[in-house]
Structure 1
Amino acid sequence: MKKFLLPVCLLLATMVYSQEDLLKSLDSTQVEQTYSTATFKALQLVTLQTTKMPAKKEFYFVVSHRFGSVERGFKEFFGLDNATTKLGGIYGVTDWLSVSLSRHTLNKMYETGVKYRMARQDANFPVDIVGYSVADINSFLEKDQYPRIEFNDRLAYVQQLLISRKFSERFSIELIPSFVHKNLYNPSIENDNQFSFGGGGRYKLTKRLSVNLEYMHNFDKPGFYENPLSVGLDVETGGHVFQLIFTNSQSMSESGYLTNAAGKWGKGDFFFGFNLYRVF
């Protein structure tokens, strides 16, 4: 009997110890946070940035076009005769930080940008928050026309706060307060500092198709410029997202898009274009 009781006691003691150890382990384990994903499928809503970030070591090659105004009809082939182009790249330094560089044919603009995640939507926090900082270099300005021009005069800066929320698998919105500063400006028609606020949303129509809308109100714009209003269609095709765009602002740089929208939707004066992102 003693030979039987001894192993049983040892087994019971081992089980009790193992249970206590397991409970301690469970108490000390933190539940992994689940963040909201796919709030937006593209890095841009239409022209404005979204809170989507490249993954670490992920590279995006960007090709964008904005054609001329469709208002002129067949005379300029509905704007196709006056195309402007943007070529650029975006690299994910980390999962929360990316850098970008692009060249725009409009005003021969070079643009550098830094995008950085500040907060993510989860069960304990309602929104994604991302900062976006941009510096533009206008290389179109010639010494012949501006004999005293210096490099610093070619610069413009943009600072944006991107705040988004995914409400469902189909619907997401974003709010964007923006600040633009231009070193070279015409004080008779614009301010060196301009503030705007707006945003947009995305509605998923099918598994690979969504419609996007964005609008920004510029509080400091001169009377002959318009507030930018744009509509886009996202088409997911394998390794890239293709965006078809209709907008009243031809510029693809943030500083130009926000402050120099010239088209008037009510008069059929708007621009067609597209964004193409390829991921490597």
Structure 2
Amino acid sequence: MTKTLLLLSMLSSALAFSQEDLLKDIDTIKTNTENSQPAFKALQIVTGQSTKLSAKNEWYIVVAHRFGDISTGFKNFFGLDDASTKLGVIYGATDWLSLNLSRETNQKTFELGGKYRLLEQNDSFPLNVVGYNVMAINTDLDKDNYPHLQFGDRLSYLTQALISRRFSDDFSLQLTPSYVHKNLYEPNIEDKNQFLAGLGGRYKISKRISINAEYFVNFDNHSFYKNPLSLGMDIETGGHVFQLLFSNSQLNSDIGYLTNATGNWGKGHIYFGFNLYRVF
């Protein structure tokens, strides 16, 4: 398993560096003091959101890919035969508000969201505080299975407070209390209302590379699903951040990632993937 993870990381890192001529500068926030610089270089820590926002009038195209369970080995070519993709756009309406729309192949889920800055770390305040709200529409639900299905049953909602601190050039931490509400749910395996708490961080190990990690605890005692745990690597190429990751949750959507993780790190049931942003 260790050799497999190492091989995939090396191959993916080589791919990321080969894209350097294509990727443009997206880190457009300009600051005058060390404390006012963003806590994270990317819009996501791993899969969960970070306190970084897009700049005013910027458009991002988002491509996020999660392969299948790597523990299947050559049977499914270490998960490459079973993948889930998310395509999305993010627009910086202002320097403190961004709007996003995405669609994921797994469960055919659309998500509409907004991220907005409430407080910013600077010389007089120690934290970044950002709000994040999402509405998801599960278009995979079928009336053959749910004869009384209404449009409202397809909807679920996420509210998060993203609270981060940049301790130094190399190290940042973020606390993420979260609330999820699902209109349609299976009471035997999960609750309608779920509360989670997440902790994520970034540590820079070289000029271009940082190691990221995040973990969310779901306080739903009935949940069949696992707590999502993810490890990632940020590779900065000309100001752009390309993210490689391993996670026990295959889903890319915010709500799916948090509440539908099925992998088990202890048994090697994990998923490899990447996040790629292109700014216009």
TM above 0.5, yes or no, is yes
Matched, 1:75 2:75: yes
CA distance in 2, matches of 1:237, 1:192: 42
Mapping 1:126-275, distance limit 5 Å: 126-222=126-222, 224-238=224-238, 240-275=240-275
Instruction: Identify if the C-alpha distance between structure 1 residues 114 and 187 changes in structure 2 by more than 3 Å, giving closer, same or farther.
Output: same
Matched residue type, 1:103: R
- Which aligned runs of 4 or more in structure 1 are off by greater than 3 angstroms? 32-35, 221-224
Matched residue type, 1:78: F
Does the CA contact (< 8 Å) of 1:241 and 1:278 recur in 2? no
CA distance in 2, matches of 1:233, 1:123: 29
Superposition deviation, residue 146 in structure 1? 1.4
2:53 is paired with a residue whose SS is coil
> Deviation per CA, 1:136-177, whole angstroms, max 9, x where unpaired?
000001122212111100000000000000000000000000
> Deviation per CA, 1:78-97, whole angstroms, max 9, x where unpaired?
11100000000100000000
Superposition deviation, residue 178 in structure 1? 0.2
Q: For structure 1, which runs of at least 5 residues remain unmatched after alignment?
A: 1-31
Superposition deviation, residue 124 in structure 1? 1.1
> Deviation per CA, 1:188-244, whole angstroms, max 9, x where unpaired?
211100000022100011111111000000000535421100000001112532100
Matched residue type, 1:253: S
Residue matched to 1:116: 116
Instruction: Identify if the C-alpha distance between structure 1 residues 275 and 216 changes in structure 2 by more than 3 Å, giving closer, same or farther.
Output: same
Matched residue type, 2:167: F
> Deviation per CA, 1:25-64, whole angstroms, max 9, x where unpaired?
xxxxxxx985511311100000000000111001111000
Identity %: 61
CA distance in 2, matches of 1:144, 1:223: 26
Q: CA RMSD in A?
A: 1.4
Indicate the structure with greater helix content.
Answer: 1
Q: For structure 2, which runs of at least 5 residues remain unmatched after alignment?
A: 1-30
1:212 is paired with a residue whose SS is strand
Superposition deviation, residue 100 in structure 1? 0.1
Larger relative contact order (CA 8 Å, sep ≥ 6): 2
Using the size of structure 1 for normalisation, the TM-score is 0.86
Using the size of structure 2 for normalisation, the TM-score is 0.86
